[in-house]
Every structure is written in C-alpha cells, then in structure tokens.
Structure 1
C-alpha cells in the first residue's frame, strides 16, 4: 500500500499559476488545523482506507481537491471528489502511473484540470457518482465484517465512463465533473507550505516510508531506524507544537483505526523523509 511515484523529473520545479502566498510568517499561527478552520466542509475530516491498493496518491489528491473546492467556493460546493476516477482513468498522455501499483501526485492534479473529477466517496459510503470500488479488508465497519487482508496488491480497477455507485446516482458523469484551474509544485519552504494551507486548504505531499513508520501509533514521527519500504502520499491538514517540538498534522489513508484516528504528526521544518520537498497543490475552477 506504499508505493507512490515522486515527482516526474521533467516536471521538477514546474509552477503553473499557483496561489499567491505571503512571504513573511508574521500572520502564521503556531497551531493550525483545517478541520477547525473550515468545519462546514464535509471532506476535510474524512479518513479513507485504500485497502490492498497503492492508491494513496489518488486519495490524497482527490481529498485535497475536495477540500479546496469547498473552501474556495465559500462552502457552496460541499462534496467529495472521486479518487476512483484518478486511480482507474488517469492513463495515456497524462498517465498518473501504475494505478494500484503507485502513481504520480503532480499528474493527478493535472488530470483534474484537463478532465475534471466526478463525485465519489469511500467504498463503505457509496457516496456520489463514482465511489471507491475496493472494499476494506481485515476489519469490521458497522455491521459488516470484511475478509482478511491477503497482503497482495490488487489489480487496478477498469476505467468506467459512467456513474458506478451501488446506491444509484441521478446525474450523468460528465455533468457531475468539477475541474481544477491551476496546479503548483510548492518549493521546499515551510513558510510557503503553511501559507498555502492556511489560505486555500489542505495540500498533498509524498514522503519516504521506512520500517519504523509502519510501527507508528501516536506522537511526533521522526525516522530513526529501518529500511525504506516505498513512498506514501498524504494530506497536510495543519501544524502545531508539542513540548517545543514543531510538527505537521497529516491525514493518512489507512483507515481511522491507524495512528491518531487516521492522522499522524511528523517533525516539521527539517524535510523529514521528504515531506516538505514534494508538496503539490492547486486551485479549483469555479463558475
């Protein structure tokens, strides 16, 4: 569930009309949590479960896009965009990568601008037009107990050109799409990352995962030991300080049972495992 392709070398340093952010930190709070800043946005507190598919790149992208769509529309477009669409349909010239084998976060945001994303929530919710088609494994959700995990990567779902929710959906998929207006590869500068999140909402980042991260339960993560296992994409929700130690607040996609109710904290200001060097954001197209 770890592999995410980091920046395409051809796209390194590419900036496409991203948001303008302050260059001084006088207005930045010591603590910031997007869930508290924009409580009206249904997508921000959502924690998903990618199951046995390396689709964190698609979820972190779709989640951040959903957050920003709500925030920048003043809460008038309050929905959840489809990670399933990115996972299964981002192919061809703008290929995001290998689907359930891992993908490219930057190209996922480019896809949003060119093709748009329909709505779509988790497998359990069957929300929207095109929800996630891969069931959780090894846990019970509500009254449903899912089969044990097999520890194998599942095949990438096929790209459907129609809405697939088991609950039915009354809108044609192409009329359900929301589009991005810009994409931005943020520089490895804490101030710009914080400013973008505070002004426009959560962003996606990709970092290196080591053995010790797999043992994380709570606290501020700092890599100390173990071998590299791959890459993981997550959302930056905010930041804070704990006993003098600065941290990022991040949302994972391994279910609410993992970490701190699906989130984790990691050391801030040192580019821990590449967290600050691989941030991608963008703005939604409104109207």
Structure 2
C-alpha cells in the first residue's frame, strides 16, 4: 500500500512539473506571431494585421498590459436607467469632433509597463465627462495614478483591477487631477514611465523595466508645481454610476449625450496585431482581459463598429485607436460597459 501511495504521489508530482513547464514555455513564446498576421491577412475578413510589437517581446510581457478583471456574476454597478429613449443617434459619431475643445478627448494615454488599463481607461472616460459636463470649464486630466495606487477594493494595482470598483471609488472618494508621465500637470501626475510597447521608437522598451511594483498610495499633491488646490480640495467625484449590459442603442445614446464610457473585453492573440479596419476575432488563443474607452461608432464597408481609444500609446494600431465590430458582442465587448455622471 505504501509503494502504491508513493507511486501515485510521484505521478501527481510529475504532472504538476509538466504543467508548470508548459506554462513557462507558453509565457516565453514570442508575443506577436508572424503566422497569425499572415492568417488574418490571407482571409476574407474586415481588418488588416501587421507587426505592432518588437520581436524581442514574449507573452510574459502581457502581464504588464492586460489588467482588466471580469467580475464573476457581472458588474456590481446599477443598470443605467431608461431615460434616453427620445434621443436619436447618427449613423457615424466621433466624440472628438462633437467636443473638439476637450483636450483629453484628442489624446491616447500610455499605461506604461503596468497592468493599469482598468484605471487608465476609467480615469480617461471620467476626465472626458467632466470636460463635457462643465462645458470645458474643467479641461485638464484626472489622475489614473491615485485610482491605481489608492483604491484598495479595486484589485491589485499593476496586477489588474475591476472597472466597477473604479467607478464606485469615483463616487465615494473621488480622484485628484493628474496628467501623463512627466507632464507636471495636476496634483498627482502618472509616475510610471511611458515606453515602447511596440516597434523600436524614441522611448525605452517597456520590457526593460520588468515587473514594476504598484507605486505607494500618497495622500498629498506630490507635484510641487501644482498650486491650484490642496490634496483634499482637489478631488472630483461622480454623483451616480452605471453599467450597461448588451444594449447597443443605450450605449450609443449615453455616449452621444454625456461622453465616452469604459469597456472591458476579452483579448486574443490576433488583436495584438491590429492595424486597420473593423476588428473581429479571427485566430489565436485567449490572452486576458483589457479595459478601454469607447469614443464613438460608425459603419465601414457595411460592417458596424465601435470607435475605441486604447492605452498602449499612439504607436499601436491606428495611431492608438481601433475599431471593433458592433452589435454582436464581439469578444464580450458589449457585456461590461461602465460609467458615471460627474458631480459638477
């Protein structure tokens, strides 16, 4: 009996070792594969693929990009009320054009070497909505840094977080002002460095930073050049929060009336190589969850799409933006929409 038990333990140990080795090998595989790019471009699909990432990057690096966590059972936020039924939306819409004087709407943020997409996308959408709600009286940036570092209920900082908790934090605590890395803008600007996620460029390659820890939470305005408000007085809040689940029309009306919203979706290998057109999953394995900002919609070659701002700087995709198929919950894109109404 002891011999049988020992053998069974040995088998279990060997299985565990084999699984761990398989995971390690998978993480060391090249991040962006030429065969996937070729497969997409050889098919009669709605988008084109090309190399976005440096050949030296592997799948392990994705831990620093895909940080959105899908909550089991769905978002904790309340459903958006049906009070926008009388709004008619156009066939094509781009928030950058409707609110062209809002500085933040024209920009693509860079989350850097950190899985902070959930915080960056939430802060970006909240920033846009503040500008729109105040008719550009507020026309700066709100701090993704404070949300990332101080929202303990949101998740694990650079190791990922929940979008519904981010918007709840905006309601209960609020966030201070803060621009991009080295912007010296606002109370708490982003301290994680911008870097080249992609092809060689002017910035340092993101992989050179390794796994950066989440910066510590600070209850002060660490930007010494910021004199407008104290830390306590600089906070901006939302008066209500919402989620929209699988309702294209309601999502369109909300964006058209009040501005961009945050979306979380499933990322597959082929998405990394998006260059143009309307993305829909074509080939490749599931990689993780990602959060982004929806800024509009349209139709291209009879294919309806969402217009989206990513947070991998302007070198990725279509100058930092992408289109994804609308109306079929592509990659679960329409099943987890989050937002809030600024308290202004």
- Greater relative contact order: 1 or 2 (C-alpha under 8 angstroms, separation 6 or more)? 1
- Residue of structure 2 aligned with 1:4, choices 68, 72, 76: 68
Matches within 5 A, 1:83-122: 83-91=144-152, 95-122=153-180
Task: Give the Cα–Cα distance (whole angstroms) in 1 for the partners of residues 86 and 318 of structure 2.
Answer: 31
CA displacement, residues 233-278 of structure 1 (integer Å, 9 cap, x when unaligned): 0000000011111110000000011111111000010101011001
Task: Give the Cα–Cα distance (whole angstroms) in 2 for the partners of residues 278 and 50 of structure 1.
Answer: 21
- Residue of structure 2 aligned with 1:197, choices 242, 245, 255: 255
Deviation at 1:145, TM superposition (A): 4.7
**RMSD of Structure 2 on Structure 1 (CA):** 2.0
Tell me the residue number matched to 2:110.
49
Deviation at 1:171, TM superposition (A): 2.4
Task: Give the Cα–Cα distance (whole angstroms) in 1 for the partners of residues 109 and 224 of structure 2.
Answer: 18
Tell me the residue number matched to 2:339.
281
CA displacement, residues 71-93 of structure 1 (integer Å, 9 cap, x when unaligned): 112222222100001100001xx
Matched, 1:252 2:310: yes
1:147–1:167 distance in 2 versus 1, CA, 3 Å: farther
Structure 1 contact 101–153 (Cα < 8 Å) conserved: no
- Residue of structure 2 aligned with 1:126, choices 178, 184, 201: 184
- Residue of structure 1 aligned with 2:217, choices 147, 159, 183: 159
SS in 2 for 1:264: strand
Task: Give the Cα–Cα distance (whole angstroms) in 2 for the partners of residues 14 and 172 of structure 1.
Answer: 30
Matches within 5 A, 1:10-89: 12=75, 14-15=77-78, 18=80, 20-23=82-85, 27-89=88-150
Unaligned runs of 5+ in 1: none
SS in 1 for 2:318: coil
Structure 2 contact 77–241 (Cα < 8 Å) conserved: no
Task: Give the Cα–Cα distance (whole angstroms) in 2 for the partners of residues 8 and 88 of structure 1.
Answer: 23
Task: Give the Cα–Cα distance (whole angstroms) in 2 for the partners of residues 24 and 3 of structure 1.
Answer: 37
Task: Give the Cα–Cα distance (whole angstroms) in 2 for the partners of residues 72 and 20 of structure 1.
Answer: 20
Of residues 179-188 and 130-139 in structure 1, the stretch that sits farther from structure 2 once superposed is 130-139
Unaligned runs of 5+ in 2: 1-64
Task: Give the Cα–Cα distance (whole angstroms) in 1 for the partners of residues 121 and 154 of structure 2.
Answer: 13
CA displacement, residues 187-244 of structure 1 (integer Å, 9 cap, x when unaligned): 2110000000001000000000010001111111110111111111000000001111
Task: Give the Cα–Cα distance (whole angstroms) in 2 for the partners of residues 24 and 187 of structure 1.
Answer: 20
- Residue of structure 2 aligned with 1:224, choices 247, 270, 282: 282
Structure 2 contact 76–164 (Cα < 8 Å) conserved: no
Task: Give the Cα–Cα distance (whole angstroms) in 2 for the partners of residues 181 and 216 of structure 1.
Answer: 37
Task: Please say which structure displays the higher CA radius of gyration.
Answer: 2
CA displacement, residues 2-36 of structure 1 (integer Å, 9 cap, x when unaligned): 12112353x646416x46543367x1100000000
Task: Give the Cα–Cα distance (whole angstroms) in 2 for the partners of residues 167 and 98 of structure 1.
Answer: 30
Task: Give the Cα–Cα distance (whole angstroms) in 2 for the partners of residues 113 and 81 of structure 1.
Answer: 14
1:24–1:224 distance in 2 versus 1, CA, 3 Å: farther
1:181–1:64 distance in 2 versus 1, CA, 3 Å: same
The TM-score normalised by the length of structure 2 is 0.76
1:8–1:132 distance in 2 versus 1, CA, 3 Å: farther
Task: Give the Cα–Cα distance (whole angstroms) in 2 for the partners of residues 82 and 149 of structure 1.
Answer: 21
Q: Which has the higher helix share?
A: 2
Of residues 236-245 and 67-76 in structure 1, the stretch that sits farther from structure 2 once superposed is 67-76
Matches within 5 A, 1:129-208: 129-138=187-196, 145-150=202-207, 152-165=210-223, 167-208=225-266
- Residue of structure 2 aligned with 1:241, choices 278, 299, 315: 299
